[in-house]
Amino acid sequence: MVELLIKNGLIVTMDKDRRIIADGSVAIDEGRIISVKRGSTGKGKPEEVIDAKGKIVMPGLICSHTHLYGMLLRAAPLKIEPPTDFSQILQRVWWPMDEAMTKEDAYASALMACLEFIKTGTTLFADTFSGPNAVSGVLDRISAAVEQSGMRGIISFEATERHTHAEGSKGTKENERFILKTKKERTTRVHGMFSIHASFTVSDELLRYTKDLASRYKVPLTIHTAEGLCDLYHNYERYGKRTIERLRDAEVLGPDVVLAHCVHVNDDELAIIKKTGAKVAHNPMSNMLNAVGVAPVVKMLSLGIPVGLGNDGYIFDGFENIRAAFLLHKVALQDPRAISAMEALEMATIRGAELYGLENELGSIEVGKLADIIIVNPKRAPTPIGPESVVGHLINTVSGGDVETVIVGGNILMRDRKMLSLEEEEVIKISRRSAERIWQKLGAIKKR
**Average pLDDT of the residues of the chain:** 97
Nearest Cα neighbor of 230 from 353, 339, 91 is 91
- pLDDT of 435: 98
Mean pLDDT of 402-427: 98
User: What's the CA gap between 433 and 108, in Å, rounded?
Assistant: 9
pLDDT at 26 over 90: yes
Which residue spans of the chain are classified as CATH 2.30.40.10?
Answer: 4-60+364-416
- pLDDT of 41: 60
Contacts of 41 (CB under 8 A, 6+ apart): 2, 5, 25, 27, 35
Q: What is the pLDDT of residues 185-228, one digit of tens each?
A: 998 999 999 999 999 999 999 999 999 999 999 999 999 999 99
Nearest Cα neighbor of 39 from 24, 21, 60, 20 is 24
What is the share, in percent, of the chain residues with pLDDT greater than 70?
A: 99
- pLDDT of 43: 59
Mean pLDDT of 68-79: 96
pLDDT at 44 over 90: no
Which residue spans of the chain are classified as CATH 3.20.20.140?
Answer: 61-355
- pLDDT of 239: 97
Write the secondary structure of 286-342 as one string of H (helix), E (strand) and C (coil): HHHHCCCCCCCHHHHHHHCCCEEECCCCCCCCHHHHHHHHHHHHHHHHCCCCCCCHH
10 Å Cβ neighbour count for 164? Answer: 11
Q: Phi first, then psi: what are they for 202, rounded to 5°?
A: -140, 160
Kindly list the distances between the CA atom of residue 388 and the CA atoms of 19, 265, 339, in Å, as whole numbers in the listed order.
11, 36, 18
Residues facing 375 on adjacent strands: 57, 405
The residue type of 254 is: G
> What pTM was computed for the model?
0.97
Kindly list the distances between the CA atom of residue 345 and the CA atoms of 22, 320, 325, 414, in Å, as whole numbers in the listed order.
19, 11, 9, 22
Q: What is the pLDDT of residues 104-136, one digit of tens each?
A: 999 999 999 999 999 999 999 999 999 999 999
Pair 404, 55: CB distance under 8 Å: yes
pLDDT band at 447 (very low <50, low <70, confident <90, very high): confident
Mean pLDDT of 432-443: 97
Class of domain 61-355 as given by CATH: alpha beta
Write the secondary structure of 83-143 as one string of H (helix), E (strand) and C (coil): CCCHHHHHHHHHHHHHHHCCHHHHHHHHHHHHHHHHHCCEEEEEEEECCCCCCCCHHHHHH
- pLDDT of 42: 59
Topology adopted by domain 4-60+364-416: Urease, subunit C; domain 1 (2.30.40)
Q: What is the pLDDT of residues 315-363, one digit of tens each?
A: 999 999 999 999 999 999 999 999 999 999 999 999 999 999 999 999 9
Tell me whether strands 411-415 and 403-408 are parallel, antiparallel or unpaired. antiparallel
pLDDT band at 1 (very low <50, low <70, confident <90, very high): confident
Tell me whether strands 56-59 and 61-66 are parallel, antiparallel or unpaired. unpaired
pLDDT at 150 over 80: yes
Kindly list the distances between the CA atom of residue 161 and the CA atoms of 117, 170, 200, 205, in Å, as whole numbers in the listed order.
31, 10, 9, 11
Burial of 389 (0-12, 13-18, 19+ CB in 10 A): middle
pLDDT at 307 over 80: yes
Q: Strand, helix or coil at 435?
A: helix
